[in-house]
Amino acid sequence: MRRIPVAARLALAGLITVVALAVALWPRHSDDTATVGDHPANSATTAALAARTAAGLTQCPVPAADAVGRGPLAGLGLGCLADGNPVDLAAALAGKPALLNLWAYWCGPCAKELPDVQEYARRAGNAITVLTVHSDPDEARALALLTDVKVTLPGVLDPRAKVRTAVGAPAVLPVSVLLRADGSVAEVVVRAFAGVDDIADTVANNLGVAA
């Protein structure tokens, strides 16, 4: 067998090295090549922004400069569904009676009740703060349902049902919590409302707010 000259072998080795480098540096366009814009975190952020934009929710109440949160919700912070920003719940609700409507996307009676809660809030005006509390971690489905039923009330995400636990409500939905201006609980309503007038009567009887 003839042996390949040393010079030829060195040339061949050099050629192989050049080809290997060219293959390694060649730009790829396959489906598993991720660009900055395709990063899962970026995609999730974009989807969340789109869902919030579609829902068009009212911003959550902002605490007054001298507000002090009291009552069972003191120190409880939750994310606002409108923008994801944290909300000091007791401080944001301080100084005015409040109706907290606890619900979840999978709760049929909740979906039926939400438009009535929104209509009640319209009738009551500034006399009371009305806030929805999504008691489930799935924010995307919460926003999708609110978009479907055209409810734009301010709301917070409560993935661990902290509000329900704080006020001692049972593990059922819907539940409505009526808070006095000082943050104390006036009533926990463990049922679905029968309509806007039922909400108005219940609030008037427990908080003295007419609507």
- Residue 41: inside a domain: no
Q: Within 10 Å of residue 137's Cβ, how many Cβ atoms?
A: 13
Q: For 76-98, what is the mean pLDDT? A: 96
Q: What is the percent of the chain with per-residue pLDDT over 90, rounded to a whole number?
A: 71
pLDDT at 24 over 60: no
Domain of residue 101, residue span: 47-207
Instruction: Provide the domain count of the chain.
Output: 1
- Residue 193: inside a domain: yes
- Band (pLDDT 50/70/90 cuts) for residue 2 is low
- CATH number at 87 reads 3.40.30.10
Q: For the chain, what is the mean pLDDT?
A: 85
Q: pTM for the whole thing? A: 0.78
pLDDT at 81 over 90: yes
Q: What is the pLDDT of residue 37?
A: 43
- Residue 111: inside a domain: yes
- Residue 88: inside a domain: yes
- Residue 2: inside a domain: no
- Band (pLDDT 50/70/90 cuts) for residue 41 is low
- Residue 183: inside a domain: yes
User: What's the per-residue H, E or C state across 80-125?
Assistant: ECCCCCEEEHHHHHCCCCEEEEEECCCCHHHHHHHHHHHHHHHHHH
Q: What is the pLDDT of residue 5?
A: 56
Residue 10 and residue 109: Cα distance in Å, rounded? 80
pLDDT at 128 over 90: yes
pLDDT at 1 over 70: no
- Residue 8: inside a domain: no
pLDDT tens digits for range 131-168: 999 999 999 999 999 999 999 999 999 999 999 999 99
Q: What is the pLDDT of residue 68?
A: 86
- Band (pLDDT 50/70/90 cuts) for residue 32 is very low
